[in-house]
């Protein structure tokens, strides 16, 4: 299995987020799960990549040319794909992945996570989408998604498009236990 991981590039965050990202990278490597991620060398992206590589796992970075030119790529990731822009980066990552895992992150991570959910809702992505809710990071988003369902902006069935994992171990369990969502998501995409 190849998992697309979206995560923060910030290095100025609580140590609890760093510990969870490192453990998740270790668990991916030990479980034989291939990782594709945004290619960054700092923040949770860098921590995750370091842990995967330190434990003999497989990791591929996908980075836009302008970020690569700025030196933002991880210097030790040998499998680095350079794309022309952010859109190509995401398309490349989704095309190579069978699952998506979102660690805590900034606005870019939020945008990537919500695109994964949107693609799944429209039947354009079929794999599991897992939020690693370290230190309750995703609680406000989960509340917003619940509000969308209560307000009939999404169907109650849509809540089954994502899984919330409180620990890195729960991420691995969620990926292992995923049984898919529905055969034809477009039947219920329209409200």
Q: Is the dihedral of CA 62, 175, 21, 104 positive or negative?
A: positive
For 140-189, write each residue's pLDDT tens digit: 999 999 999 999 999 999 999 999 999 999 999 999 999 998 889 998 88
Exposed, middle or buried, 95 (CB in 10 Å: 0-12/13-18/19+)? exposed
What is the distance between the alpha carbons of residues 171 and 85, in angstroms, rounded to a whole number? 29
Residue 76 contacts residue 97 (beta carbons within 8 Å): no
For 121-146, write each residue's pLDDT tens digit: 999 999 999 999 999 999 999 999 99
The pTM (predicted TM-score) of the whole model is 0.96
Q: Average model confidence (pLDDT) for the chain?
A: 96
What is the distance between the alpha carbons of residues 158 and 9, in angstroms, rounded to a whole number? 29
Domains of the chain: 2-176 (3.40.50.450)
What's residue 69's pLDDT?
Answer: 96
Could you tell me the strand order of the sheet in which 80-83 lies? Answer: 80-83, 59-64, 34-37, 2-6, 99-102, 129-132, 163-165
Neighbours of 142 (CB within 10 A): 16
If you search the block for the tokens 């292992």, which residue do you land on? 176
For 81-121, write each residue's pLDDT tens digit: 999 999 999 999 999 999 999 999 999 999 999 999 999 99
For 45-83, write each residue's pLDDT tens digit: 999 999 999 999 999 999 999 999 999 999 999 999 999
For 10-24, write each residue's pLDDT tens digit: 999 999 999 999 999
| Pairing label, strands 163-165, 129-132 | parallel
Neighbours of 67 (CB within 10 A): 18
């Amino acid at each position: 299995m190849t998992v697309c991981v979206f995560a923060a590039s910030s290095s100025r965050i609580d140590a609890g987020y760093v510990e969870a990202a490192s453990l998740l990278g270790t668990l991916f490597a030990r479980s034989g799960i291939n990782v594709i991620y945004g290619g960054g060398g700092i923040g949770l992206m860098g921590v995750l990549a370091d842990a995967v590589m330190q434990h003999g796992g497989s990791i591929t970075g996908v980075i836009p040319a302008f970020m690569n030119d700025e030196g933002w790529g991880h210097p030790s990731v040998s499998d680095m794909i350079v794309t022309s822009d952010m859109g190509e980066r995401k398309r490349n990552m989704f095309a190579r992945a069978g699952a998506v895992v979102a660690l805590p992150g900034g606005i870019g991570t939020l945008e990537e996570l919500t695109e994964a959910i949107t693609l799944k809702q429209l039947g354009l992505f079929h794999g599991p989408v897992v939020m690693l809710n370290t230190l309750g990071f995703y609680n406000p988003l989960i509340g917003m998604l619940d509000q969308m369902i209560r307000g009939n902006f999404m169907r109650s069935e849509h809540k089954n498009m994502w899984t919330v994992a409180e620990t890195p171990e729960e991420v691995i369990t969620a990926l292992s236990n995923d049984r898919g969502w529905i055969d034809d998501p477009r039947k219920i995409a329209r409200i």
